[in-house]
C-alpha cells in the first residue's frame, strides 16, 4: 500500500526481516512513543515478525530517492470463544513525518489485514492527551467503547 503526499511517497508493509536499519529505526521511534520502554532488540523484533499472531507494520517514506522508516504499528490477533479479535498496539509516527498521513496509512493496513484474517473487530487504546491520534481513529471509524480498562502490573 502506498500514498503520495507533497512529493513524499508513503509505503506501508509488514516487516519480514530484521536488519540493522530496522533496529536503528526502532531506536529512534520508540522513545517518541514511550519514555519508560527501551527500544526492542533485534531478537525481540524477530520474535514479533516470526509470530503468526502478530504483524509488525512499518511505514516508509521515499523522498529524493531516499527511503526511511517513519512509523510502525503492531497488530496482534487472539482467539477467544466468541471469535477472532485483533488489537492495535504501539502506533508511532516519527515527529518529522507527522501530518503526512502515515498514521492513517498504518491503521488502514492493519484494518485490512484484520478483515482478511476474519477478525470480528479491531480494538485499540489511546491516551486522551493524544488529540490528533484520537481524531484520526474516530475519522477512520473507531468508536469509543464503554468499558473500564484494568491493568495488573507484573
Let me know the angle formed at the C-alpha of 114 by 127 and 125, rounded to the nearest 5 degrees. 10
pLDDT number for residue 121? 96
| Number of domains into which the chain is organized | 1
Domain range enclosing 91 = 2-140
pLDDT number for residue 1? 66
Query: Is 152 part of a structural domain of the chain?
Result: no
pLDDT number for residue 62? 86
Cβ contacts of 112 within 8 Å, gap of 6 or more: 1
The total of other beta-carbon atoms located within 10 Å of residue 62's CB is 15
Query: Is 62 part of a structural domain of the chain?
Result: yes
pLDDT number for residue 63? 79
Query: Is 57 part of a structural domain of the chain?
Result: yes
CATH number at residue 131: 3.40.630.30
Query: Is 99 part of a structural domain of the chain?
Result: yes
Give mean pLDDT in consecutive 10-residue pieces for the chain, a chain of 154 residues.
Answer: 66 97 97 95 98 98 88 98 97 95 97 98 93 95 91 92
Query: Is 147 part of a structural domain of the chain?
Result: no
pLDDT number for residue 44? 98
Query: Is 66 part of a structural domain of the chain?
Result: yes
Query: Is 29 part of a structural domain of the chain?
Result: yes
Query: Is 148 part of a structural domain of the chain?
Result: no
Amino acid at each position: 500500500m502506498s500514498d503520495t503526499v507533497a512529493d513524499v511517497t508513503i509505503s506501508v508493509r509488514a516487516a519480514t526481516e530484521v536488519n540493522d536499519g530496522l533496529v536503528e529505526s526502532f531506536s529512534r521511534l520508540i522513545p517518541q512513543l514511550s519514555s519508560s520502554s527501551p527500544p526492542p532488540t533485534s531478537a525481540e523484533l524477530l520474535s514479533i515478525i516470526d509470530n503468526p499472531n502478530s504483524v509488525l507494520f512499518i511505514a516508509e517514506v521515499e523522498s529524493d530517492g531516499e527511503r526511511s522508516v517513519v512509523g510502525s504499528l503492531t497488530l496482534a490477533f487472539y482467539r477467544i470463544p466468541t471469535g477472532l479479535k485483533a488489537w492495535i498496539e504501539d502506533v508511532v509516527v516519527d515527529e518529522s513525518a507527522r501530518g503526512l498521513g502515515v498514521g492513517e496509512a498504518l491503521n488502514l493496513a492493519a484494518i485490512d489485514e484484520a478483515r482478511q484474517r476474519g477478525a470480528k473487530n479491531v480494538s485499540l487504546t489511546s491516551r486522551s492527551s493524544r488529540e490528533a491520534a484520537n481524531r484520526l481513529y474516530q475519522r477512520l471509524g473507531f468508536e469509543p467503547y464503554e468499558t473500564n480498562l484494568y491493568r495488573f502490573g507484573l
